[in-house]
A and B are shown apart, each in its own frame.
Chain A
Amino acid sequence: MNYIFYILIVVSIIFGAINGTLTDVVNSILTGAELSVKVAFSLIGIMAFWLGMMKIADKSGIIKFIAKIIKPVTKKLFNEIPENSPAIGDIAMAFTANAFGLANAATPIGIKAMEELQKHNENKSSASNAMCMFLAMSTAGFQLVPATVIAVLIGIGYKNPTEIIAPTLLVTSTAFLSAIVLAKVFQRLWKPQQNGKENN
């Protein structure tokens, strides 16, 4: 991430100077910073709502119940996490919300799942294998119906917008499965987590 951060910023400035877009690049610092705060603050309300709901779900045993049902799958994917940890139930809830395109619920629940995974993490500033797996699965963004895209297609008078669903599903499943396989492969190749000594 150090290199990516450096490259994104320094290359933008140098290229902006050559390309004559330096003013835009400099202005984008302010707009980008403002946007970040807007994004974070827009999360507060919905975050609070779902954290509240998830707490009830947790206390009434729903999360544990879900974790139990999907145990055969998660035992393989998140082998470092104890089987009955609430993290497993949270992860399942996050993916359910994501699959149905409920981004408003998926993000707060995903964050809750990450917090649970952090409890099992030995080095609090470095991502555990389970966290890398969960992040890789989340970024693949498995979704059954791409609602926003379909809305745009309907807007331009696309005759049969649902024909986009099948290919999209095929592609997103491919990406999702590759993310899982890749995360497992890298888990073996990457040097194991050390306490506070890692470089990335």
Chain B
Amino acid sequence: MFQSLMNIISLWALPAIIIIILTTGLFKKVPLYETFTDGAKDGFKVAVNIIPYLVAIIVSISMFRASGIIELIGQALSPMLSHFNVPADTIPIMIVRSLSGSAALGVFSDIAHNLGPNDYATKLSAVMVGSSETTFYILAVYFGAVGISKLRYALLVGLLADFIGIFAAVAVCNWMF
């Protein structure tokens, strides 16, 4: 019920927003075509502005992942985390989910396909991946677009919130599944 309602909302949210924007614009006598193209011409500029920030973050994270150090950290953490009923397979997701969304989704798909629908690791990793946004990517894109290079406490808060999210995922899954 909730799911089908959400499907309908997801399907109609974009078209509805677009219709509302255009119709209100028409009623307020905003020159639609001119205003649209005027706003849209910044699209290229913004995308180009982001490139240096994306290169810095995506390259350093790609190198980090390629070095295999994430697996090592996973192995080191595994004995401690098994006390909290955390399956070893899910640990790479905890480390990678703030760094790379596609990597986290990849690890999750592997777990789901290898361990199957009934395994606890599948459920825990589903919740961990579904409940997070890739902190470093958002940081590069949002701050990159306006040229912010001094982050102050933004990244720290983002990562702490991610950490709390992991903790909550473990607690909630232990309780519900």
> CA A5 – CA B53 in complex, angstroms?
11
Residue of B nearest to A169 (CB): B131
In the complex, chain B residues 32-87 whose Cβ is within 8 Å of any chain A Cβ: 32, 35-44, 46-48, 50-51, 54-69, 72
Q: Chain B residues near A200 (CB, 8 Å)?
A: 150-152
> CA A89 – CA B168 in complex, angstroms?
30
Residue of B nearest to A6 (CB): B60
Contact B56 A5 (CB under 8 A): yes
Q: Chain B residues near A51 (CB, 8 Å)?
A: 39-40, 42-43, 46
Contact A33 B60 (CB under 8 A): no
Contact B129 A146 (CB under 8 A): yes
B17 to chain A, nearest CB (A): 7
Q: Is residue A56 contacting chain B, with contact meaning CB distance below 8 A?
A: yes
Residue of A nearest to B161 (CB): A179
- CB contact between B161 and one of A19, A155, A165, A182 (< 8 Å): that residue: A182
- A interface, by DSSP: helix, strand, loop or mixed? helix
Q: Chain A residues near B13 (CB, 8 Å)?
A: 96-97, 100, 102
B124 to chain A, nearest CB (A): 9
Q: Chain B residues near A115 (CB, 8 Å)?
A: 145-146
- CB contact between B24 and one of A60, A108, A152 (< 8 Å): that residue: A60
Contact A139 B162 (CB under 8 A): yes
In the complex, chain A residues 156-200 whose Cβ is within 8 Å of any chain B Cβ: 156-159, 162, 164-172, 174-176, 178-179, 182-183, 186-187, 189-190, 193, 198-200
Contact A148 B143 (CB under 8 A): no
B45 to chain A, nearest CB (A): 9
- CB contact between B143 and one of A127, A168, A179 (< 8 Å): that residue: A127
21 A-B contacts (beta carbon < 8 Å) = A9-B64, A27-B66, A40-B47, A40-B54, A43-B50, A53-B39, A56-B35, A59-B30, A100-B9, A100-B10, A124-B148, A127-B151, A139-B158, A148-B105, A152-B108, A153-B126, A165-B3, A167-B127, A175-B164, A178-B164, A190-B152
- B interface, by DSSP: helix, strand, loop or mixed? helix
Contact B43 A171 (CB under 8 A): no
Number of B positions contacting A (CB below 8 A): 99
Contact B63 A164 (CB under 8 A): no
Contact B148 A127 (CB under 8 A): yes
Q: Is residue A69 contacting chain B, with contact meaning CB distance below 8 A?
A: no
> CA A118 – CA B37 in complex, angstroms?
23
> CA A108 – CA B126 in complex, angstroms?
27
Contact B68 A16 (CB under 8 A): yes
In the complex, chain B residues 105-126 whose Cβ is within 8 Å of any chain A Cβ: 105, 108-109, 112-113, 116-117, 122-123, 126
Q: Chain A residues near B149 (CB, 8 Å)?
A: 1, 125-126
In the complex, chain A residues 23-74 whose Cβ is within 8 Å of any chain B Cβ: 24-25, 27-29, 31-33, 35-37, 39-41, 43-45, 47-49, 51-62
A103 to chain B, nearest CB (A): 9
Contact A175 B67 (CB under 8 A): no
Q: Chain B residues near A97 (CB, 8 Å)?
A: 13, 17
